[in-house]
């Protein structure tokens, strides 16, 4: 089934993308949740018109994301947490904790845009990827230390 995404959907696409998905996924999740609309002829024409009108806005958003990425790339943050004697932490480090630490450093980043290569369950150094825009991504070094 061909649909138009109304907002970013993780592992599927970004807002205003036209994608093909299975009928059940569209009918049971995307359409009722307001994440997408059917890609009918009229909806495609509306999308095309919206894309024409939003060129300047999208260019500004991309420019802002590139500026933020330039500041975030190479940034290192330290998160302190309780840990056992063997270096295993109690619980795990989440995207919310990283977003809070970035906010403390003066960067406003949505927690849903932060991804990890692996779960952070031990002390050490890790990399977090931040998806700021469809074409702009940043990488932040995360150091987890014991209290």
Which letter does DSSP use for residue 12 in this model? T
Helices (H), 73-118: 95-104
Question: Whole-prediction pTM value?
Answer: 0.70
- N-terminal to C-terminal alpha carbon distance within the chain: 51
Q: What pLDDT is attached to residue 59? A: 87
Per residue in 47-73, is it b (16+ CB within 10 Å) or e — as a string? beeeeeeeeeeeeeeeeebeebbeebe
Structural domains present in the chain = 2-53 (3.40.5.10), 65-146 (3.10.430.100)
Q: Is 132 helix (H, G, I), strand (E, B) or coil?
A: coil
Q: What are the distances in angstroms from CA 46 to CA 3, 33, 39, 40?
A: 13, 20, 10, 10
- Tens-digit pLDDT string for the chain (147 aa): 999 999 988 889 888 899 999 999 999 999 999 999 999 999 999 999 988 888 888 889 889 989 989 988 889 999 999 988 888 998 889 999 999 999 998 888 889 889 988 888 999 999 999 998 888 899 999 999 988
């Amino acid at each position: 089934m061909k649909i138009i995404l109304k907002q970013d959907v993780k592992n599927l696409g970004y807002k205003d993308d036209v994608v093909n998905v299975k009928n059940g996924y569209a009918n049971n999740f995307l359409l009722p949740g307001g994440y997408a609309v059917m890609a009918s002829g009229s909806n495609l024409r509306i999308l095309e018109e919206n894309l024409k009108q939003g060129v300047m806005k999208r260019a500004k958003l991309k420019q802002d994301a590139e500026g933020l990425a330039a500041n975030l790339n190479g940034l290192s943050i330290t998160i302190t947490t309780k840990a056992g004697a063997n270096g295993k932490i109690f619980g795990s480090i989440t995207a919310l904790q990283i977003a809070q630490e970035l906010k403390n450093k003066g960067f406003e980043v949505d927690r849903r845009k932060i991804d990890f290569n692996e779960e952070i369950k031990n002390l050490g150094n890790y990399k977090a990827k931040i998806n700021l825009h469809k074409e702009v991504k940043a990488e932040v070094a995360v150091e987890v230390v014991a209290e």
